Amino acid sequence: MKKKGPKQQWPRKIKRFFTSVTTPDPGFMEKTFSLGERAPYNQEAGKKDKPNRRGEENNRRIIKPLPLAKVRRKPLAVRPLEVKKDGGQGEEKNSNARRTATGLAAQEKRQAQSGQGEGSHQDYQAALKAQAEDVQEEEPFLGWDIDPRLSVNLERVSRVFHIPPNMDVVVREFEIPFEPPLKAAIVYIDGAASRDVADNYILKPLMLLPRLEGEEKEAVRGDPVDLVYKTLLPGNQVARKECFQDLVEAVLNGDTAVLVDGSREVLTVESKAWPVRSVEPPRSEAVIRGPQEAFVEHLRVNTGLVRKHLRNQSLVTEIFTLGQVSRTQVAIMYLQGLVNPKLLAEVKRRLEMVKTDAIADSGILEIFIDDNPRAFVPQILATERPDRAAAFLTEGHVVILVDGSPFALIVPVTFWALLHTPEDYYLRWPFGTFVRWIRFLAFFFALLTPALYIAIVNYHQEMIPTDLLLAIAASRERVPFPAVVEVILMEVSFELIREAGVRIPSVIGPTIGIVGALILGQAAVAANIVSPILVIVVAVTGLASLAIPNYGLNLSLRIYRFAFLVAAAALFGFVGIAVLLFLLNVHTVGQKSFGVPVVSPVAPYRPPSFDLVTLREMFKHSLLPRYMRPRRHRRQEEFNRYWHPLTTMLAKTKGEARKENDKRQEG
């Protein structure tokens, strides 16, 4: 029997070695930070020391920055550090501060040796000081009341708007010819406020006013703003503000602020004059029949366009300010007495919880407030047509308008509304129904045509007539690629042509798109890269996708099309298509738009479910959508064509049946 030797201990030693190398010393981890500023190069040490294996302290230390909200940042200066009784931790911080000061001295010495001189170093320090002042906390007097001294208010205005570097803000000081003369000033932003309003309706009445005598002189001795507000300013919208923050916001919104010495109030005069594009026909939503006007980039013009279609006293407009830097105005419009109060409260809650620097467009706001930003099905409807926004308002929806964006957001929205257009209702009901059926067929063609082609060619050849099967086989005889690769190449090429046609100049865009598609398709067939029948399949698919009226839904179909292609090729044809259709339906049914299921009123079912695919006559649309839960459920009478004999007979018959039913219930 072989004698056992001593146990080999080398695996345990290797494990101990790797543990000591990969696990840092806890004391060393406490002395370093993940975020902060590195101390400058220590010239006294002559080189940068590296931490040893035990994690001992070195002369290159990471200093943790103090928060800006508590302490004002100073450029490359050492903050006073307190020595705490914590086992020498405070002494280590003071040591770091000394090293920082040493590094600064070495840096100044190197600058002097390199010929930069003392003046250059002073300029560098001045630049750092200016940079530190830019990141310091906001002036605390923004929340204070207006000071009665005009000089103090003008100094605050200069600090807030960075005057004199800022050349957009105009401050005009003048005197009102009272006895004695009263000092005053106006503040406005050039380009945002109208110069004509400031000159003709503010400065002229105040500067050219004759000297007051008699009883009016006594009124001046009280509050001068009261006299200016009541008798001297002819502006149609003049407000009195007491907080300095209100003054700043009014000036930023394009108003003109009037400051009077000796008063604790400021007058803001409506003088907005933002550059506005004239109202033009819609570009992304072509109008076949209906109003030829679209939203523009000005908020007040957009609200006026909506009110042009709904001249109702119950139409309410509320304005919010979003974006800590951009200060963008966002308006919500709804019909008071019709909209669901819970829906309105939810819209306001989501808008108030948007915390960001800038809202440049309604598309950015849509991402912030929709239920599921990662879903492919749109949960908010974007439109540039005021008539469509007004129509949704009459059904209890809420319209959101963003200043600077020509698109309005409508919430909530259902899947069926994404496939509807206003022309469906403007046309006679047989024509509107026919167009709507064509549109729904185009939806399925755009989604499933390439996948069905792959499934039939690869797995289900028995479904094709023999002559057509032989023709397809003959056309694909010289094609070197599998069918799925062939389809993907053509689909990607078609998407490239479509995107290029959108981005190139509009004059040659349509020409390049059509000619490019024809040339590429003919060349690909001649080079035996694709089969002729595939060109037809891709062309029909592209035309069907262009028939979808909503751009967001169109993008979803273009992405889902590739998913169905892969599913049909990898999961045995129709089986893969059926599985993916099932998963897509489950995903879509689970989506909500501000609490309303996207596929309402089909799932969950809410009778009567009209106006989904088949369009009814407009005089039969007597009920509002029940899934919206409006405060009233009827928009018009059930029978409103009493001039027609048939309508009168139907109303009489239904009325008698209703009376008999009531009698039975009473009995």
In three state form, how does the secondary structure of 220-234 look? HHHCHHHHHHHHHCC
Helices 483-503, 509-526: axis angle to 10 degrees equals 160
pLDDT of residue 130: 55
* Selection from 347, 456, 361, 368 nearest residue 404 by Cα: 361
Rounded (10°) CA dihedral 591, 594, 595, 599 = -40
Helix (H) or strand (E) holding 630: none
- Alpha-carbon torsion (200, 201, 203, 205), positive or negative: positive
Q: Where is average pLDDT lowest: 50-59, 131-140, 192-201? A: 50-59
More confident residue, 656 or 59: 656
Tokens of 344: 């309105």
pLDDT of residue 296: 93
Mean pLDDT calculated for residue range 510-533: 79
Tokens of 563: 């998913």
pLDDT of residue 87: 39
* Selection from 290, 194, 280 nearest residue 237 by Cα: 194
pTM metric for this prediction: 0.73
What number of CA atoms fall less than 13 Å from residue 382's CA on the CB side? 19
Give the confidence band of 304 by pLDDT, cuts at 50, 70, 90: very high
* Selection from 34, 127, 33 nearest residue 76 by Cα: 127
pLDDT of residue 52: 46
Q: Residues 279, 209: contact at Cβ < 8 Å?
A: no
pLDDT of residue 107: 47
| Percentage with pLDDT > 70 across the chain | 74
CA distances from 138 to 142, 158, 245, 257 (A): 8, 14, 12, 21
Asked if the model's pLDDT at residue 85 lies above 80, the reply is: no
Mean pLDDT calculated for residue range 542-565: 91
pLDDT of residue 210: 54
More confident residue, 22 or 427: 427
pLDDT of residue 1: 47
Neighbours of 31 (CB within 10 A): 18
pLDDT of residue 60: 43
Pairing of strands 408-411, 398-402: antiparallel
CA distances from 563 to 362, 557, 578 (A): 29, 10, 12
Mean pLDDT calculated for residue range 587-601: 91
Asked if the model's pLDDT at residue 653 lies above 90, the reply is: no
pLDDT of residue 11: 55
Query: Could you give the CA distance from residue 9 to residue 558 in angstroms, rounded to a whole number?
Result: 64
pLDDT of residue 212: 52
More confident residue, 263 or 132: 263
Query: Could you give the CA distance from residue 253 to residue 250 in angstroms, rounded to a whole number?
Result: 5
Pairing of strands 596-597, 169-176: unpaired
User: If you ran DSSP here, which 8-state letter would residue 86 be given?
Assistant: S
Give the confidence band of 129 by pLDDT, cuts at 50, 70, 90: low
pLDDT of residue 21: 44
pLDDT of residue 507: 65
Asked if the model's pLDDT at residue 371 lies above 70, the reply is: yes
Written as one letter, the residue type at 350 is: R
The chain-wide mean pLDDT, for the chain, equals: 78
More confident residue, 323 or 78: 323
pLDDT of residue 81: 34
| Percentage with pLDDT > 90 across the chain | 34
Asked if the model's pLDDT at residue 648 lies above 80, the reply is: no
Q: Where is average pLDDT lowest: 60-69, 112-121, 241-250? A: 60-69
* Selection from 75, 61, 62 nearest residue 104 by Cα: 75
Max avg pLDDT among 132-141, 185-194, 476-485: 185-194
Mean pLDDT calculated for residue range 83-92: 39
* Selection from 317, 285, 315 nearest residue 299 by Cα: 317
More confident residue, 480 or 180: 480
Burial of 393 (0-12, 13-18, 19+ CB in 10 A): buried
- Alpha-carbon torsion (162, 168, 169, 173), positive or negative: positive
Q: Where is average pLDDT lowest: 77-86, 395-404, 561-570? A: 77-86
pLDDT of residue 251: 93
Beta bridge partners of 322: 328
Query: Could you give the CA distance from residue 132 to residue 167 in angstroms, rounded to a whole number?
Result: 22
More confident residue, 511 or 307: 307
